[in-house]
């Protein structure tokens, strides 16, 4: 639910190669508005661009799109070539590795030419008859955008809750389908949280989260009886604090329905209800407390608790399951050891050099996801013998993670693995015999050979002496003498770690001589919890400084040069891009800011805008003068100056639910007014999509092809 995006979107040329005269870019009208906060006055000349229904605003966005088309006309053939090239690497008729849940094996498959997955299952074994639950291609017909926001099958395997978004505002409509007959139930509940719903064991009661259509925050949990009028649904919990995000689901043990509330890295709270007693009341596992974050997993007669209580990098505790019995008062008789942290038993102690990221539980095994020195690790502990091991991956830069393992009574762990040179791979690991089986590796068509590429990992020293990890990949034979073009990517917010995974589309850059580098800057969590804490709130500038310092390291060590160095980031990473070009514009040939969060102060002052209140603990509340002054000192929109900027491509979506379209639109308008260079400045608005861009698997490739064509054009590569 945060301002996240990792789309690869790039820049274009300002002048037509076939015209003597430059193309004239559109200009937004200037309509000054005075904004006063903490006694300080700002003048926003483009504030009116936030009027989504204003014909003048739509006209301006449309003109900007037409300008992009004009500027990119000379590389139209290259765009087509890139699209076909990237599409040609995809195995169009493909299928996921099935997983077993209950009596069925579930999987998704694609058909040739299909934009969307088909969700299927087979009963008993993989030799059973296929049942199609949801055909995304059929369901998407008639919609410019379509997203199936998850599904949940009832305990008797006959019914499925699912959610649909046809606008890209992440306001999902909840439906129920009878999987035996194929018929839909009449109820259609709008404005719900996609993927956050749960069945009770009676196969007729379900729970879901309702969202505020303006702030887009999930804030109410309702109980619904199948077939009943949704107007009669019962409110079972309401989140009164609009700084919290909510999630809803069923525990792996199937015993509990859980409501999770999270205050953006500051506090956590879970509520539990026995799934067999849907008319009961939810009970708080441990009340929220500022500074305390925790996750819970139910296991037999106890809970495992991942907690940062007296443990910055988190530790693992256990506590008996003392959920109130049916004849006790849920409000007063919670088991003492569930709420008394002093009674919790430590299982895995805190380690200053290891971040405990997540966990999964099986009948006889405990599996932990950990990070050390910026790399992911999977740790397996046998609950019976207490044997403890780490899986070995054998590459310098990679990402490995615990997969979806819904079956509790198994000794097989499914996990995912990828690297900058190894396509996404699914493994099954027998936790008793240690046998590892590759179940599937992403098939890359077109003659791909991982041995044609090289990955590296090293540390660059930031200006304050901190060592920043860098992962990069390039094709063998690429010269490291400063002549190669290089794309540097980062995110650096919310504690989200940017892992060095594989991308088949990226090959179109690598095969044309590009080096691709990920700067694992502060604000993420690659190096542990402190890495995040040192890149947020009043330390946010460390994120920007790290990125610039990595750029200088890459230039100094001749991986590239300033006339061939590109930078890219999306959403909060787009804020990073805006801050970077204000700080060191001379370092970059071109910068891509995808759906960028660039009007930081104005957005964080408006609590009616989606996500604002939930992010005060990430950026600060500018109604407090200390945070206002600090935020104002780096907010890209507020710091545009009369100076030269790099070539710049900015993208947005009209229906963006995370970063509203007007932020990049205002930023581009102001840059156009202020900048002193003749470099390109392009704004492209997807008028039919939101934060994640186009919804189809091939439509997304068209956007990437457009972006790559610009970037390659800037370095003179037009083939």
User: What are the catalytic residues?
Assistant: 571, 656, 691
Structure-block tokens of residue 46: 């483009």
Torsion 542-548-554-557 (CA) sign? negative
Q: In this structure, what are the phi and psi dihedrals at residue 126, rounded to the nearest 5 degrees?
A: -75, -5
CB 218 within 8 A of CB 228: no
For the record, the structure tokens of 241 come out as: 């604090």
Order of strands across the sheet that contains 388-390: 354-361, 365-372, 375-382, 388-390
Compute how many other C-beta atoms are within 10 angstroms of the C-beta atom of residue 640: 22
HSE (side-chain half, CA atoms, 13 Å) at 283: 25
**DSSP letter, residue 693:** B
For residues 44 and 30, give the distance between their C-alpha atoms in angstroms, rounded to a whole number.
9
Show Cβ contacts of residue 449 under 8 Å, excluding neighbours closer than 6 positions: none
* φ, ψ for residue 243, nearest 5 deg: -95, 0
Q: How many CB atoms lie within 10 A of CB 333?
A: 14
CA 46 centroid distance within chain: 29
Measured distance CA(41)–CA(29) in Å, rounded: 21
Tokens of 593: 């800011």
CA–centroid distance for 622 within its chain: 25
> Cα separation of 546 and 522, whole Å?
7
Separation of alpha carbons 395 and 377, rounded Å: 12
DSSP reduced 3-state for 89: coil
Task: Report the C-alpha gap between 572 and 491 in whole angstroms.
Answer: 7
Contact 298, 251 (CB under 8 A): yes
How far is it, in rounded angstroms, from Cα 58 to Cα 190?
Answer: 27
Element (H or E) spanning 25, and its range? none
**Residue 612 CB partners (closer than 8 Å, separation 6+):** 215, 603, 604, 606
CB atoms within 10 A of CB 117: 20
Query: With contact defined as beta carbons under 8 Å apart, do 701 and 2 qualify?
Result: no
Provide the 10 A C-beta neighbour count for residue 557: 12
């Amino acid at each position: 639910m945060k301002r996240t995006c990792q789309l690869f979107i790039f820049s274009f040329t300002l002048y037509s190669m076939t015209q003597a005269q430059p193309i004239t870019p559109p200009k937004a009208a200037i309509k000054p508005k005075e904004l006063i906060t903490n006694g300080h006055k700002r003048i926003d000349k483009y504030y009116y661009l936030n009027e989504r229904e204003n014909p003048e605003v739509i006209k301006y966005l449309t003109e900007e799109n037409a300008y992009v088309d004009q500027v990119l006309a000379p590389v139209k053939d290259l765009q087509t070539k890139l699209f076909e090239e990237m599409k040609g690497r995809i195995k169009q008729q493909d299928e996921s590795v099935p997983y077993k849940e209950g009596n069925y094996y579930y999987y998704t498959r694609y058909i040739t030419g299909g934009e969307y997955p088909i969700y299927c299952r087979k009963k008993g074994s993989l030799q059973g008859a296929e049942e199609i639950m949801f055909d995304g291609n059929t369901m998407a017909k008639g919609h410019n955008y379509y997203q199936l926001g998850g599904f949940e099958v009832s305990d008797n395997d006959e019914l499925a809750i699912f959610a649909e978004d046809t606008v890209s505002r992440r306001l999902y409509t909840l439906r129920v389908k009878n999987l035996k007959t194929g018929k839909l139930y009449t109820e259609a509940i709008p404005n719900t949280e996609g993927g956050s719903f749960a069945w009770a064991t009676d196969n007729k009661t379900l729970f879901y989260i309702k969202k505020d259509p303006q702030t887009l925050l999930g804030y109410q949990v309702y109980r619904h009886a199948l077939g009943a009028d949704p107007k009669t649904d019962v409110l079972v919990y309401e989140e009164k604090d609009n700084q919290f995000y909510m999630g809803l689901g069923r525990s792996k043990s199937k015993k509990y329905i859980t409501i999770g509330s999270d205050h953006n890295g500051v506090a956590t709270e879970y509520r539990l209800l026995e799934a067999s007693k849907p008319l009961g009341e939810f009970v708080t596992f441990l009340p929220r407390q500022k500074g305390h974050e925790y996750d819970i997993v139910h296991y037999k007669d106890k809970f495992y608790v991942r907690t940062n209580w007296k443990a910055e990098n988190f530790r693992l505790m256990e506590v008996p399951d003392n959920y109130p019995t049916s004849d006790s008062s849920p409000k007063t008789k919670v088991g003492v050891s569930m709420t008394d942290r002093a009674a919790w038993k430590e299982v895995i102690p805190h380690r200053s050099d290891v971040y405990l990221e997540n966990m999964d539980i099986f009948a006889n095994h405990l599996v932990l996801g950990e990070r050390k020195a910026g790399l992911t690790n999977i740790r397996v502990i046998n609950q019976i013998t207490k044997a403890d091991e780490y899986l070995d991956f054998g590459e310098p830069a990679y990402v490995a993670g615990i997969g979806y393992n819904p079956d509790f009574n198994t000794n097989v762990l499914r996990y995912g693995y990828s690297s900058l040179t190894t396509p996404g791979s699914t493994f099954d690991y027998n936790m008793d015999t240690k046998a590892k089986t590759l179940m599937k590796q992403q098939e890359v068509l077109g003659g791909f050979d991982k041995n044609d590429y090289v990955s590296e990992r090293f540390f660059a020293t930031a200006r304050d002496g901190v060592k920043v990890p860098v992962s990069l990949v390039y094709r063998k034979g690429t010269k490291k003498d400063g002549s190669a073009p290089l794309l540097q990517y980062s995110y650096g917010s919310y504690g989200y770690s940017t892992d060095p995974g594989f991308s088949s589309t990226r090959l179109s850059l690598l095969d044309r001589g590009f080096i691709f580098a990920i700067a694992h800057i502060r604000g993420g969590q690659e190096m542990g919890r402190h890495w995040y804490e040192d890149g947020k709130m009043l330390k946010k500038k460390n994120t920007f400084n790290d990125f610039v310092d990595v750029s200088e390291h890459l230039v100094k060590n001749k991986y590239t040069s300033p006339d061939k160095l590109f930078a890219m980031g999306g959403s909060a990473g787009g804020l990073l891009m805006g801050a970077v070009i204000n700080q060191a514009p001379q370092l970059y040939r071109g910068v891509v800011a995808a759906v960028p969060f660039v009007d930081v102060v104005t957005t964080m002052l408006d609590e009616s805008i989606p996500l604002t209140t939930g992010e005060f603990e990430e950026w600060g509340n500018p109604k407090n003068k200390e945070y206002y002054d600090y935020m104002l000192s780096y907010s890209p929109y507020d710091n545009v100056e009369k100076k030269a900027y790099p070539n710049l491509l900015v993208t947005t979506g009209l229906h963006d639910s995370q970063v509203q379209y007007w932020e990049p639109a205002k930023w581009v308008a102001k840059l156009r007014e202020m900048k002193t260079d003749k470099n390109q400045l392009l704004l492209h608005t997807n008028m039919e999509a939101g934060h994640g861009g186009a919804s189809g698997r091939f439509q997304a490739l068209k956007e990437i092809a457009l972006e790559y064509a610009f970037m390659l054009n800037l370095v003179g590569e037009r083939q």
